[in-house]
Structure 1
Amino acid sequence: MKKLLLLVIGCCIIVTSWSQQKQRTLLSGRVIDAQTGAPLPGASIVLSDSKVGTNTDSSGHYIFKNIPKGHNLVEISYTGYKTLVEHLDATGNDTVNFALTSSIIENEGVTVTGVVGATSIRKAPVPITRVSKSELLQTPSTNIIDALSRQPGVSQLSTGPAISKPVIRGLGYNRLVVINDGVRQEGQQWGDEHGIEIDENSVSRVEILKGPASLVYGSDAMAGVVNIITTSPAANNTINGSVLSSYQTNNKQRSFFANIGGNQQGFNWNAWGDYKGAADYKNKYDGRVYNSKFNENNYGGYVGYNSTWGYSHFIVSSFNQELGVVEGERDDNGNFIKLLPGGMEATPAKSDFNSTTPQTPYQGVNHLKFILDNSFSLGKGKITLNLGWQRNQRKEFGNVDDPEEKSLYFDLKTLNYNTAYLYDNHKGWTTSIGVGGMQQRNQNKGVEFLIPEYKLFDIGGFVYTQKTIGKTTLSGGLRFDNRDLTSDELMEDGEIKFNAFKKSFANVSGSAGVSYAATENFLVKINLARGFRAPSIPELASNGAHEGTNRYEYGNQDLESETSWQGDLGIELNSEHIHFTASTFYNHIANFIFYSKLSGASGSDSLVEVDGEMIPAFQFRQQTANLVGAEMGVDIHPHPLDWLHWENTLSYVRGTFAEALEGNKNVPFIPATRWISELRWEFLKKGKTVRNLSLHFDIDNTFKQDKPFTAYDTETPTPGYTLLNAGISANLMNHDKTLFSLYLLGNNLTDVAYQNHLSRLKYAEVNPVSGRQGVFNMGRNFVVKLNIPLSFTK
């Protein structure tokens, strides 16, 4: 019935919108240099809400045809110039010229994260970071979260090169939301050993919102939102694409990616495919880390139509991955152990380390996703409708005697729905109202069970408004959500393993903030937000030994929703010689969920027998937690040495419980303080043969984490470490056309052996020869990337 209702609503909206199609709309003009009046060929003009964009020709001219009438937020950008964001009311046949000012820092831009419609990043009262495709290409990484972890306030919880989960300001798992093309990415976010199933090579840009200020996505966005955007329509009457290939020396990781897309009179399309394979990585302490290998093959694309009535896009993607599970067990000589049938063991051969096919134990992941993304002009505004269906199949194979046996098999199906009405800008007011949520069904199809099968249904409504008064922009809104969760009973060996139960969680979230541009170069932002998170199914109902840990976990059906109040204060200063940003926050979380050890009747530890071994029992509980932290960035570019940049970023977060547990008040899994200092030289921005030559050298310094959550043997302290990295990149040109871009990058040049505090492999078995616990991170690694753009103009 719910699916039928959503379908009927969607059809009504489409019919209504088609019946209100408007006459042809034309927008054209020029983009010039504000000082000299010279045209800027190749400048980008994007109408974010309408999802259309184009580039200027050799004379600086641009043209849009058949765009919706009404309000649009226009973003104009050009390399070496300050990005311009302008409000525009399209009336039918408009000529608008834009003048850009040269700037070393291109620090403006548009965001669509946390709000329904596009808005200027400068006017958003919360800290938002936007990462472009070009920045991702200049970052050596093994997955998309690894690439983003260099951003201030962003960390990663990793299990080897293939698995990384985002952490924002010390909070991860179900406390933050990952969005892909407007839809929540749903794939067992609660698990340590689960990645996010998005191919990094397909990403066109990423927006990161820090803090519980998102009113669009409901529960779980307490820490913030990582919005990953893959689809980007081509300019009208063009066909373009790219071929991207890369190779990494440490783990022999190779990838090949290709995409092609076009736009003909509003009909636009895109298709892409990618292959990635990696052998076992190495470091100077562990040598090659057995079974850290993985391989991926992913593909996707979309078809859509843009016209005066709005747009409709259908997007499909399929992510397929096989990855080894690193257990870290070694023999008496310190060699990793390879499991063989019949309970036998062996030392891995050279071919085992060099293969890209994981060996038992390993995971197989398939994530299929369909998205229908629509926007229709309606009255004095537009209505959006976003529907998504995704299926996440996660299989774990751990039986060497029966390699096809699925020890665990989660089959998660999710239907996402969001619709909102955006009123056109009127006297500085921009308002939107909407409703959204998801329906979910998870089934167990393996021979083992960690969580019960369950059904979930979310629904929430919100209102958001923004008002600009001179130099001040006020923003705020409210949202109410309700989640219904039904868990199924499971009998195992004649005993109840999971009880059947029903739970409902309802809560209110909201935010209010102000952005004040005191001058063109000085900006102040203040925001207060309330967020919440409903307990996840493992926290409510788990009953089993957790993979990779020496603990047996019980759920707690009495858990309440986590709620948080967070205050943010940020400033931005931009001058001829320096660009400075700083933000600080305080986050008070009630009912923070974590696990604690259970006591037996005699007062000693409660123990559970698992496969003949007695392990301690834990159960989830709650108490108050407080997190405080800050991020700072400084880019010094002394004029007239505009080719020189000295960039520094610093990230700090501290988390404490209101009450100590076993004498420890530290919140678990808090990243260490990190300082990155980079020197960058940029030359030949208008070179004829070689253009945009860039060299960089950076010191990545992670401080020691000496405030871990040591209660119940959860964490141990982690020493600090310093990594030296460098890179060079350039575009090879032919008559102002880029033939290809080449990137030569190096990470950990001094081959430091280190363990990141948020690496799960840190807690693997002890090496009996060296006495060191766990597995260390990747050693020295060189990366080469070759990107060949393809462009055809009709």
Structure 2
Amino acid sequence: MMRLGSRGYGLSMYLPGGVRALALTAVATWVAAVGAAAQTSSTLTGLVVDSITRAPLVSAHVHFVDEDRHFVTTDGGRFLILDAHGDSVTLSIDLIGYRTAQWRVAVSDEALVFPMVREAVDVGGIEVEAEAAQRRAELSTPVSTTRMSEEEVTRERGQTLGATLRDVEGVAVIQYGPSIAKPVVRGLHSQRIVVSNGGVRQEGQQWGGEHAPEIDVFGVHEIEVVRGPGSVLYGSDALGGVLRVEPAAPPFGSGLGGEYVLNGFSNNRQVAGSAMVEHGQLRLPVLGEVGGRLRASLRKSGDASTPDYNLGNTGFTELNVSTALGWVRPWGGVEMDYSLFTTDIGLFSGAHVGNFDDLIRAMEQGPAETEFTYAIDSPKQDVAHHAVRLTGHGHVQGLGVVRGVYGFQLNKRREFDSHGPLANRERAAFGLDLYTHSLETMLDHDPVGPLRGTVGVSLSRQGNLSRGKGFLIPQYRSYTGAVFASEEAEVGRATVSGGLRYEYRWQRVFEFQDVGIDVPDETRSYDGLSGSLGFSVPFLRDWSLGGSLGRAWRAPNVNERFSQGVHHGTAQYELGDRTLESERTWNTDLTLRRAGERLDVQVSVYRNAIDNYIYLEPRDPVQTIRGAFPAFNFRQVDATIEGGEASITARPASHVQISGGVSTVRGSERGSEEPLYDMPADRLRGSVRALLPSSAWAVEPYIEVGVSAVREQTRVPEGTIYALPTDGYQLVHVEVGATSLNLWGRHVDATLEIQNLFDTSFRDYLSRYKLFVDDPGRD
């Protein structure tokens, strides 16, 4: 991988009473707060950047000399000084690896840029205050989290979001060949995991096991995995966890810049690339100086292959564009962006067969021989995801910081059949158009005694249109409203936190009548209270013990209640149950952490007791006019999911880094102790990275060797054809690269990685094609 730097759906005006009141409150709060914030004028906004690359510098120390006040730059390199007195001020800025610099600047409405000059330093055992502050923040968190930095995300660019997270403890991946990878957090996935993309909840028919998040990883700045319920801040569906995906903020104050990224993958002969251009000093009418960014990316793949055969019709084409615009003023800032994610995905042809005999033959004998091709034929998926996001924040004197986020998303999904009367290459067997509007306003209030935290209001409106000749789920409309509060306080050396969220959901399903299908016009409402209590206590040096207790709930999805038909993406027949009730869970979590200079450790254990747990129960295969398919019923039981994960990163010497991790999860029905379907197998990973001496043309070159081992999964339901265990396997990977290469006067990141070095044949238990074929081989 290489990177170079230098049609219509009308809006109903009707809202249920409770949601209408929340909407008026949210809009009034946002307008009043931003208006009040705009009256503040004695504010200085700054951006600290690298003088060469113009990249924002995080955790730089800013000293306001005149009033002896201190600040630290945020993830976007920004800082904000409120109530700066006088027409000009003196600032001193320092950051390890850069020369300390001092400026005398005039206070103005424009954001000021402070370029820092690099210098070589020998820090030895000196602890940088910014790094110490970051470690203290990690140690004070009561829940189990993992953050992937920009550097770590960059090394995984060109892959899906799920594949990017494959080495994070507690995270597994549901795989449909190389093109679809869906994250599984502590045994839960799809509608039980919330993906927050830039503060907006991703809505893209996520209930489908093969409906992966429609996010372009090329545009991602960092990713944070929050394990365990995150319902208080992120909504009732976050029973299993939250994936916080943060795109890079628009540049402010810097000049013209850009990058391009090129990837190549050998297994499926995939090529991928992305080009970005940005400017932080654009001047627009009315708006004045703004920062803007434009990115386009492409991924093109042919068939994947196992060590023994080609996987026919598993290619894909992905084309994405995004643009962002933002500006910062003394009263706050505004950002708006638009993104379009499109993909055309071939679905493995060997999983779609015409009758029972062919189904059994496909499972026993393997796939028919095919030749590699980039062509994509039916069965396939076509997906387009449009997303608009508008965010704003402003400081209100004596109150705090008010933030608002509006999002609009349109997800268009089409699935094409390869058998039976619906095998029309031009017309989809079925299609789904999902429209989502969301609005959230939050106040990060000033400290009230020992308390600091956030209160907010959240609203959403969603409508789903079903298209095509086939039927899977009916058309529906839903409204959701919530109020929430999350607070924390220092009690002695301990940090104590808690939160509450009340959420109400109104849902209408529209009538659908056809041969063998009877969906009545139905309206239902759901509501519930979510809450959390947590603590974190530091001890010894760089250690802490944290714990949390959470109560959460989730209303059943429309697909769980009304599915009736073949889901082509999963190549299975699904049958819903309209009597399903809401899931409700108690979750307990205990986490031991160490965040130090030479050793990072995180060990977590958890127990998730879910009443009315909804899952797909395997049944005998079904013969339809489109062919024979594995079949599943939605069923509800009381269940317990428990397990743990541990990770360690050691730096015994300046040129060596050793890391490893282990994850285990057990899911079972309470009472019968029957294993739950779809629980990940135990996983272990380890790697050693050697940092080589830097030179004039290579900064921090390295070589890394790693191994991952997955245990045989024997905890599977009995009595169906799916009750076959999958063998354990071990995979080795090798990676070489450099933090930066100096080539032709440019900064270049270059990485070469080999996955599955020894071309091992294996089938992961979470592979949806495990009944038919092996997983892809060496890449």
TM-aligned CA distance change 1:367 to 1:406, over 3 Å: same
Deviation at 1:646, TM superposition (A): 1.6
- Listed one character per residue, the Cα deviations across residues 352-389 of structure 1 (whole Å, up to 9, x for unaligned) are x231x411111110000111111122232121111111
1:707 paired residue number: 715
2:485 paired residue number: 463
Contact 1:473 1:515 in 2 (8 A): yes
1:211 and 2:234 aligned: no
**Distance in 2 of aligned mates of 1:703 and 1:44:** 46
1:535 paired residue number: 556
2:373 paired residue number: 354
2:748 paired residue number: 740
Q: Which one-letter code corresponds to 2:654 in the other structure?
A: D
Deviation at 1:150, TM superposition (A): 0.8
TM-aligned CA distance change 1:270 to 1:648, over 3 Å: same
**Distance in 2 of aligned mates of 1:540 and 1:105:** 56
Deviation at 1:612, TM superposition (A): 8.9
Gaps of 5+ in 2: 1-12, 97-122, 282-287, 360-366
1:779 paired residue number: 777
1:656 paired residue number: 668
1:634 paired residue number: 648
The equivalences for 1:782-793 within 5 A come to none
Alignment RMSD: 3.7
Deviation at 1:125, TM superposition (A): 0.9
**Distance in 2 of aligned mates of 1:477 and 1:428:** 15
TM-aligned CA distance change 1:581 to 1:105, over 3 Å: farther
Q: Which one-letter code corresponds to 1:646 in the other structure?
A: I
- Listed one character per residue, the Cα deviations across residues 678-713 of structure 1 (whole Å, up to 9, x for unaligned) are 01111335x432101111000111111111223544
1:372 and 2:390 aligned: yes
The equivalences for 1:296-445 within 5 A come to 296-328=318-350, 350=371, 353-355=372-374, 357-379=375-397, 380-399=399-418, 402-425=424-447, 428-445=450-467
| Equivalent residue for 1:730, pick from 712, 735, 738 | 738
TM-aligned CA distance change 1:72 to 1:358, over 3 Å: farther
SS of the aligned residue for 1:204 comes to strand
**Distance in 2 of aligned mates of 1:186 and 1:715:** 33
Deviation at 1:466, TM superposition (A): 1.2
| Equivalent residue for 2:254, pick from 232, 237, 262 | 237
Q: Which one-letter code corresponds to 1:775 in the other structure?
A: V
| Equivalent residue for 2:504, pick from 467, 482, 490 | 482
SS of the aligned residue for 1:288 comes to coil
Contact 1:55 1:62 in 2 (8 A): no
SS of the aligned residue for 2:325 comes to strand
- Listed one character per residue, the Cα deviations across residues 605-654 of structure 1 (whole Å, up to 9, x for unaligned) are 8x97632979897643322111111111122322xx22112211111111
Deviation at 1:230, TM superposition (A): 1.6
Contact 2:573 2:629 in 1 (8 A): yes
Contact 2:318 2:341 in 1 (8 A): yes
1:647 and 2:659 aligned: yes
Contact 2:614 2:636 in 1 (8 A): yes
| Equivalent residue for 1:580, pick from 580, 595, 601 | 601
The equivalences for 1:17-416 within 5 A come to 17-18=34-35, 20-26=38-44, 54=57, 74-75=73-74, 91=84, 95=91, 120-139=137-156, 142-264=159-281, 267-285=290-308, 287-328=309-350, 350=371, 353-355=372-374, 357-379=375-397, 380-399=399-418, 402-416=424-438
Q: Which one-letter code corresponds to 1:276 in the other structure?
A: R
Name the TM-score, length of structure 1 as normaliser. Answer: 0.81
Query: Which stretch of structure 1 is more off in the superposition, 93-102 or 703-712?
Result: 93-102
Deviation at 1:552, TM superposition (A): 4.9
Q: Which one-letter code corresponds to 2:587 in the other structure?
A: Q
Q: Which one-letter code corresponds to 1:246 in the other structure?
A: N
**Distance in 1 of aligned mates of 2:26 and 2:53:** 40
Q: Which one-letter code corresponds to 1:205 in the other structure?
A: E
1:676 and 2:707 aligned: no
- Listed one character per residue, the Cα deviations across residues 426-465 of structure 1 (whole Å, up to 9, x for unaligned) are 5553122111132111111111011111111111110111
**Distance in 2 of aligned mates of 1:289 and 1:189:** 25
Name the TM-score, length of structure 2 as normaliser. Answer: 0.83
SS of the aligned residue for 2:731 comes to strand
2:105 paired residue number: none
Contact 2:43 2:80 in 1 (8 A): no
Deviation at 1:326, TM superposition (A): 0.7
| Equivalent residue for 1:752, pick from 756, 760, 776 | 760
The equivalences for 1:477-556 within 5 A come to 477-493=499-515, 496-547=517-568, 552-556=573-577
Query: Which stretch of structure 1 is more off in the superposition, 369-378 or 540-549?
Result: 540-549
2:111 paired residue number: none
Contact 2:412 2:433 in 1 (8 A): yes
**Distance in 1 of aligned mates of 2:54 and 2:606:** 35
Aligned length, in residue pairs: 707
Q: Which one-letter code corresponds to 1:654 in the other structure?
A: R
SS of the aligned residue for 1:216 comes to helix
TM-aligned CA distance change 1:571 to 1:95, over 3 Å: farther
Contact 1:54 1:63 in 2 (8 A): no
Contact 1:636 1:646 in 2 (8 A): yes
Contact 1:72 1:90 in 2 (8 A): no
**Distance in 1 of aligned mates of 2:47 and 2:163:** 41
**Distance in 2 of aligned mates of 1:577 and 1:55:** 21
**Distance in 2 of aligned mates of 1:424 and 1:581:** 31
Contact 1:299 1:317 in 2 (8 A): yes
| Equivalent residue for 1:697, pick from 688, 695, 705 | 705
Q: Percent identity?
A: 27
TM-aligned CA distance change 1:616 to 1:730, over 3 Å: closer
TM-aligned CA distance change 1:108 to 1:17, over 3 Å: same
TM-aligned CA distance change 1:110 to 1:303, over 3 Å: farther
Contact 2:43 2:81 in 1 (8 A): no
**Distance in 2 of aligned mates of 1:748 and 1:732:** 26
Query: Which stretch of structure 1 is more off in the superposition, 748-757 or 521-530?
Result: 521-530
**Distance in 2 of aligned mates of 1:29 and 1:420:** 24
**Distance in 1 of aligned mates of 2:70 and 2:667:** 43
Contact 1:431 1:463 in 2 (8 A): yes
Contact 2:546 2:591 in 1 (8 A): yes
TM-aligned CA distance change 1:27 to 1:693, over 3 Å: same
SS of the aligned residue for 1:215 comes to helix
SS of the aligned residue for 2:500 comes to strand
SS of the aligned residue for 2:336 comes to strand
- Listed one character per residue, the Cα deviations across residues 136-161 of structure 1 (whole Å, up to 9, x for unaligned) are 23348731211112100011111111
**Distance in 2 of aligned mates of 1:44 and 1:589:** 49
Deviation at 1:55, TM superposition (A): 6.8
TM-aligned CA distance change 1:275 to 1:269, over 3 Å: same
**Distance in 2 of aligned mates of 1:508 and 1:71:** 40
**Distance in 2 of aligned mates of 1:395 and 1:30:** 46
**Distance in 2 of aligned mates of 1:55 and 1:120:** 15
1:116 paired residue number: none
TM-aligned CA distance change 1:163 to 1:22, over 3 Å: same
Query: Which stretch of structure 1 is more off in the superposition, 466-475 or 728-737?
Result: 728-737
